Amino acid sequence: MSPLLHSAYLLDAAVFSPLVIGALLLLFGRRLSLGSLAGAANLAAIAALMQLVTLIINGRSGGESPFGAFLLEPMGAALFGMTVVVGVAAVHRAIRQLPGVEKPHAYLGLILILWSGTLGAFASPLSNSEGAIKAYVYHEFALIPTFILTVFWGGEGRRMASMQMAIYLTLGAMAGLAGLLIALNSATASSSATGLILLGFGTLVSLFPFHSWAAPGYSAAPSPVSMLHAGALKKFGLLMIIQFAIGHLGAWSNLLLWLALGNTVFISLVCLAQRDLKQLVSWSSVAHMGPIFLGLWVADVTGKADGVHAAIFLMVAHGLSAAALFSLSNDVRTRTGTYRIEELGGLANRTPVLAAFFVAASMASIGLPGFANFWGEFGIFLSLRDQSLWIQAAAASTIIVSAIYMLRAVAAVFYGPLNPEIEKSSASLHDLTWSDRLIPLFLLGASLALGFNPSLLTRLFTP
Amino acid sequence: METNLLDWILFLPLASAVICGLLFRQSGSVAGVISIGSAIVNSILALSLLTHLQAGDTIAWSREICRFGETSLTVGYSVDQYSALMLFVVTFVGAWIHLFSWGYMRDDSARGRYFAGLSLFMFSILGIVLANGLVMTFIFWELVGFCSYMLIAHYFDKDFAAAASKKAFIVNRIGDLGFILGIAACLSLYGTTDFDTLKVAVAAKPAPALVGFLLLGGFIGKSAQFPLHVWLTDAMAGPTPVSALIHAATMVAAGVFLMARIFFLLHPDVLQLCLWSGAAMAALAGLCALAQTDIKKSLAYSTLAHLGIMGAALGLGHPELALLHMAMHACFKATLFLGAGSIIHGCHHEQDMLQMGGLARKMPVTFATFLVASLSNCAVPFLAGWYSKDAILEAAHEHGVLVFALLSIAALATCLYSGRMIRLVFMGEARSEASTHAHESPWTMLLPLIVLGLGYSVFAGNYIGIPKASVSVLPAPMHFHFGAASIVGLGSLIFGFFGALWFYGRSKSDALRDASPALYGALERRWMDNLYDGYVTRVQQPLVDALAFIDLALINGIGGKILGAGIPAGLGALSRRLFHTGSARVNAAWFAIGALLITALLLGIL
């Protein structure tokens, strides 16, 4: 193997090259052509992709990186790998959008910075206190471009949504940080610190009932930002909870169960009421956090790692499928000018490839075997096996409700006769081009790889 | 025995599906050749497996596919002579249906997608047959559900196909909820989900009824048992060969196969439920078939009735008989559906039996095969259907009078709707333009009909039925014993079949509807479908809308009020003013400054 793949600088390069190139584009990219912008963005992804390949080949990461002191620990490595895939897809989504975007250099630059911050958050080792604080800082650092991108380049309702997002996320992150600092500075785990960590970082992951920011936030954000935020960045909160709260939840355990069921059951039902494709994908992204939290809960209750491992699997899988759904919904929007489900209908007649990808992404999202999400959900259900039956049933009810809302949307958007309004209004109802296809191919390909060979990921956890 | 052969059998269809789906979606003929070729090769491989496998042999192989903490999940093969037989039935019937599709789908513009779907389905169903345990079964169980969804939605531009595909998938998932919980329960109780180890463990510690009830959920969904039967009749929206392969011969039978495999897990209470719901559904669905004018829907009710009979056989404690009936049903029902396909093709896509008539002369080969398969369906002695149905009736007779009565009604109903179908479709005068100009189908469609219909429906019982499956469980004389079952069978054949031929000859439309509109209406009405539709529109939708409102008004509202007022108060008047300007730019700046401050603070701490 090439010595380059073993180089300790690779991880540094993976995290920092999007940052450096993003910053350069932001500051000096005004005059660059769209082609050069895209080229620069692709350049930024090289090191990250190489790091992903090393991770896949070696099954674990190398040592600590010399410059940023990054270290891929098992959980972080899983999410880092997913963030590389989602980031590449999101950057390409952004590149596809550039012709219609104001200040394209700033748009692309900020997205690269957002990606870099997310990579940094997952590449920082949580097992030592310095690394945990650093991960926190990278996460906050990634939230800044998220917010700015939503405010300036977002869609309908972006001001309200970004304000609400800022309030919730700032508060949540502060509470989490307070808990983290207490936990790091005391020898024994205190209950209040655990509670702050759980609810504070839980807010970052849209834990019920602190989820109100999430669906409007993802919906209002530009699609590449939704992909990176809902797919990758928010999972940072879960990592912090796993690292610092699970195992000593104590009195908080029951609360977590009920809140997790809130995501699993309540939010899933709320998904059924959605009438806007992007809102639906956003809400489902909140609902899918429910089983993940249940996995964490059961790991705390039983003291076994089953639930956590399955939850991490689902975190990775959900990142891929949610990013694919956001990207494909955006494809629908660019062709029809709308996200409203009732204004769509019968698109498969004209865009069969888009429809096929959307069906595949929906199937991934609702846990069809063959895609990664299946192993995550199934593993979590099995990890709940010694709990009471009603908890198991409530957890597994998600396979029914998610099938209802996703397939209903698929049928309403893609099946049936072509909606005559669309036929009239959009002359350019063309199918996905080859370069359009690369984005879902990359995301769903990664999901399929994990679906067929789940040990690619689970081997990270077994020494 | 090598597992190599099993690898080939399993992965050949997957390869075909991937190649057809990715490369030949635009060129349907190439996709068809690949898909049909792989199906034929597969049936030959399955035949060689069946002939090489000695009685009592099992091929077992498994490996860990992944591990979550202490939970190790394995996949692998476990093949004994029953599953080898099932493998052969599936691949053999499948191969002929593939060939039939060549002719039937010739003018379809989406043939590439269709054949990719068929191959993917073969991969999925074979996975169920080969599976070594509940985990692998569940994986492929879900995949057949997806294939069924995809193929029902083949004519996706029709609203009814869109609705039917969605319904089939969702209803199956309701059953799968039970299946998942059942798997978890097995893992919790016995620490394994592999059939072989599970069997040993259950022998030491019998399974509680709950496990069986949960696993039964999967069976009820996939095999369209009451009350989850509602998707099957709608699934007829798919192309007819799909109805033959998936919704008659194989997928719906997979539930029976699973139940037979985990029979050792089933508590007597579970079997009781299985028995009564199966027997009741057999009788009712058989009668409902009399009130359908669409030939495919009528056949779908017939399938429901037969699935009920299989469920009853399981409940009677005879999984072998259920499997035998499944194999027999697969061949004659596939023939009937393919025959229906040939008729529909010949009548220019007319499916209403009242618009047909007099087709016997115009489509002689279709008529002959349809007639033979119908007689097999009616359990005429020594035809395929007779071997299994007669034995099940006999077992019911031993069990008790009520079950026997229900299954006898089912037997009578079978003869009635078969006679009605023959009378309406093939005899009398043509009742529409379409049937006047009907033409016989091409040889690619007739050959499968002849092989499956004349060959298989007639002789299958002789060479598969008795020697392979049933001789070990049933006393040999039962088949030739002139008992209550034979009386019912022959009686219903004579009165039912010939009675129907006479009765339905009396009127130009449906004779039962003329004679008793109330009875016909009651049978035609879709009670459970209406109930579910009512639930979805009157209960579920208002409920979720209310929940969404609660979320917006209460959770979001309270959160917004507390946080929106609370933080600015906490951060002082400056930020409060900034917040209330409502300017996004200011907000962005504020957020950036705050985050940078925190960052600086933290770096300072370090």
- Within 8 A of A306 by CB-CB distance, chain B residues are 68-71
Strand blocks (E) in B228-352:
none
Instruction: Please name the amino acid found at residue B141.
Output: W
* pLDDT for residue B176: 93
Rounded to a whole number of angstroms, the distance between the first and last alpha carbons of chain B is 65
What does the DSSP assignment read for B587-605?
A: HHHHHHHHHHHHHHHHHHH
Report the b/e string of A221-251 with b at 16+ CB within 10 A. Answer: bbbbbbbbbbbbbbbbbbbbbbbbbbebbee
Tell if the CB–CB gap between A382 and B65 is shorter than 8 Å.
no
**Cis ω on the peptide bond leading into residue A440 (within 30° of 0)?**
no
Residue A303: is its pLDDT beyond 60? yes
- The count of C-alpha atoms lying within 13 angstroms of the C-alpha of A348, restricted to the half-sphere facing its C-beta, is 23
Q: What is the mean pLDDT of residues B335-339?
A: 90
* A167, A174, A384 member nearest B184 (Cβ): A384
pLDDT recorded at residue A109: 92
Q: Does residue B585 belong to the interface with chain A, where contact is any CB pair within 8 Å?
A: yes
pLDDT digits (tens, 9 = 90+) for A205-224: 999 888 888 888 999 999 99
| Closest Cβ opposite residue A209 in set B71, B73, B555 | B555
What value does the CA radius of gyration of chain A take, rounded to a whole number of Å? Answer: 21
Judge: A415–B143 Cβ closer than 8 Å, yes or no: no
Q: Could you give the CA distance from residue B328 to residue A62 in angstroms, rounded to a whole number?
A: 60
User: Looking at residue B205, what DSSP letter applies?
Assistant: S
CB-CB under 8 Å, A454 with B559: no
A to B CB pairs, distance under 8 Å: 208
pLDDT band for position B468 (cuts 50, 70, 90): very low
- Among A222, A216, A239, CA closest to A285: A216
Question: Which residues of chain B does A362 touch, with a Cβ-Cβ cutoff of 8 Å?
Answer: none
Q: Return the pLDDT at A257.
A: 94
A379 touching chain B per CB within 8 A: yes
Contacts with A177 from chain B: Cβ below 8 Å? 598
Give the span between the Cα atoms of B302 and B295, in whole angstroms: 11
Rounded Cα distance, B208 and B189, in Å:
10
Looking at this protein, which amino acid is placed at residue B463? Y
* Residue B465: pLDDT band with limits 50, 70, 90: very low
Whole-number average pLDDT of chain A: 89
Quick one: which H or E segment has residue B521? helix B517-524
Provide the greatest CA pair distance for chain A.
Answer: 68
Res. A463 pLDDT band, cuts 50 70 90: low
Which of B162, B541, B547 is nearest residue A266 as measured by Cβ atoms?
B547
Is B602 close to A137, i.e. CB distance below 8 A? yes
Name the closest residue on chain A to residue B169, using Cα atoms.
A403
Q: What is the pLDDT of residue B467?
A: 41
Chain A touched by B177 (CB under 8 Å): yes
Looking at chain B, the whole-number percentage of residues with pLDDT higher than 70 is: 87
Residues 6+ apart with CB under 8 A from B213: B178, B269, B270, B273
The number of residues making up chain A comes to: 463
- The DSSP secondary-structure symbol of B71 reads E
Nearest to A305 among B69, B159, B547 (CB): B69
Whether residue B559 and residue A212 make contact (CB cut-off 8 A), yes or no, is: yes
Nearest CA in chain A to B68: A306
Nearest Cα neighbor of B552 from A218, A147, A213 is A213
Q: Does the pLDDT at position A6 exceed 70?
A: no
All residues of chain B having their beta carbon less than 8 Å from the beta carbon of residue A269 are 543-544, 547
Lookup: tokens for A445: 């390909």
User: DSSP states of B88-120 as a string?
Assistant: HHHHHHHHHHHHHHHHHTTT-TTHHHHHHHHHH
- pLDDT of B472 > 50? The answer is no
Confidence of residue B469 (pLDDT cuts 50, 70, 90): very low
Residue B442 preceded by cis peptide, ω within 30:
no
| B 520-559 near A (Cβ less than 8 A) | 540-541, 543-545, 547-548, 551, 555-556, 559
Instruction: Give the residue, B605 or A374, on which the prediction is more confident.
Output: A374
Indicate yes or no: CB of A381 within 8 angstroms of CB of B584: no
Which chain A residues have a beta carbon less than 8 Å from that of B605?
133
Residues 173-192 of A with CB under 8 A from B: 174, 177
Chain A residues lying within 8 Å of B173, measured CB to CB = 399-400, 403
pLDDT over 60 (residue B480): no
| B599 touches A at CB < 8 Å | yes
Query: With an 8 Å Cβ cutoff, is A391 touching chain B?
Result: no
CA separation for the pair B106, B83 (Å, rounded)? 34
Look at residue B458 in the predicted model and tell me its pLDDT: 67
User: Comparing C-alpha atoms, which of B140, B134, B138 is closest to residue B190?
Assistant: B134
Q: Which of A151, A299, A400 sits opposite B170 (nearest CB)?
A: A400
- Chain B residues in contact with A270 by the CB 8 A cut-off are 544, 547-548, 551
Per-residue confidence band for B475, with pLDDT thresholds at 50, 70 and 90: very low
pLDDT in tens, B179-226: 999 999 999 999 888 988 888 998 888 888 999 999 999 999 998 888
Instruction: List C-alpha distances in Å: B579 to A145, A173, B225, B569.
Output: 19, 19, 60, 11
Which of A181, A341, A366, A378 is the best mutation test for B, with the most CBs of B within 10 A? A378
Question: B595 pLDDT band (50/70/90 cuts)?
Answer: low
Cα separation, B79 vs A48, in Å, equals: 45
Q: Which residue has the higher pLDDT, B539 or A112?
A: A112
Confidence grade of residue A349 (pLDDT, cut at 50, 70, 90): confident
Whether residue B169 and residue A152 make contact (CB cut-off 8 A), yes or no, is: no
How many Å apart are CA B477 and CA B481, to the nearest integer?
Answer: 6
Question: Angle B517-524/B268-288 helices, nearest 10 degrees?
Answer: 130
pLDDT digit string (tens) for B44-59? 998 888 888 777 778 8
Give the mean pLDDT of B522-549.
80
Locate the domains of chain A by residue range: 251-463
- Going from the C-alpha of B2 to that of each of B48, B62, B79, B175, the distances in angstroms are 12, 13, 11, 35
For CA atoms B133, B83, B87, B299, give the dihedral sign.
negative
Residue A92: what pLDDT?
93
* Res. A236: pLDDT tops 90: yes
Cα separation, B524 vs B526, in Å, equals: 6
Q: Is the pLDDT of residue B476 over 70?
A: no
CB B146 within 8 A of CB B190: no
| H-state helical runs in B28-155 | 28-52, 81-104, 111-130, 134-152
Cβ-defined contact of A304 to B70 (cutoff 8 Å): yes
Q: Which pLDDT band, with edges at 50, 70 and 90, does A372 fall under?
A: very high
For the segment A62-90, what is each residue's pLDDT rounded down to a tens digit?
Answer: 677 777 778 888 888 899 999 999 999 99
Element spanning B326, H or E: helix B319-346
B198, B133 in Cβ contact below 8 A?
yes
Compute the nearest-CA separation of A289 from chain B (Å).
17
pLDDT of B392 reads: 86
Are the Cβ atoms of A141 and B595 closer than 8 angstroms?
Answer: yes
Cβ-Cβ contacts under 8 Å, A299 against chain B: 69
pLDDT number for residue B461: 59
CB contact under 8 A, B66 and A416: no
Pairing between β-strand B59-68 and β-strand B71-79 as defined by DSSP bridges: antiparallel
Asked if B177 lies within 8 A of A399 by C-beta distance, the reply is: yes
What is the SS3 string spanning A403-420? HHHHHHHHHHHHCCCCCH
Q: Does position B107 have pLDDT exceeding 60, yes or no?
A: yes
d(CA A291, CA B524): 42
Whether residue B597 is predicted with pLDDT greater than 80 in this model: the reply is no
**Cα of B445 to nearest chain A Cα, Å:** 29
Q: What pLDDT score was predicted for residue B36?
A: 92
pLDDT at B464 over 60: no
Cα distance between residue A157 and residue A155, in whole Å: 6
B contacts of A374 (beta carbons < 8 Å): 139, 142
Is any Cβ of chain B less than 8 angstroms from the Cβ of A158?
yes
In the stretch 60-89 of chain B, residues with CB closer than 8 A to chain A read 64-71, 73
- Average pLDDT for B281-303: 89
Which of the pair, B60 or B593, is modelled with greater confidence? Answer: B60
**Nearest CA distance, A293 vs chain B (angstrom):** 16
* Element (DSSP H or E) covering residue B174: helix B159-190
Residues 295-314 of A with CB under 8 A from B: 299, 304-310, 313
Please compute, for residue B573, the number of CA atoms within 13 A of its CA located in the half-sphere on the CB side. Answer: 0
More confident residue, A448 or B359: A448
Cβ-Cβ contacts under 8 Å for B583 (sequence gap 6 or more): none
pLDDT, one tens digit per residue, over A377-422 is 999 999 999 999 999 999 999 999 999 999 999 999 999 888 888 8
Q: Which of B115-124, B513-522, B534-543 has the highest mean pLDDT?
A: B115-124
The chain-wide mean pLDDT, for chain B, equals 83
Q: How far does the CA of residue A261 sit from the closest CA of chain B (Å)?
A: 15
Cα angle for residues A163, A165, A169 (degrees, 5° grid): 125
Closest-CA residue of chain B to A362: B146
Question: Any chain B CB within 8 A of the CB of A346?
Answer: yes
Contact A305 B599 (CB under 8 A): no
Q: pLDDT value at position B570?
A: 52
Residue range B145-170: average pLDDT?
Answer: 91
Q: What angle do CA B15, B20, B24 make, to 5 degrees?
A: 145
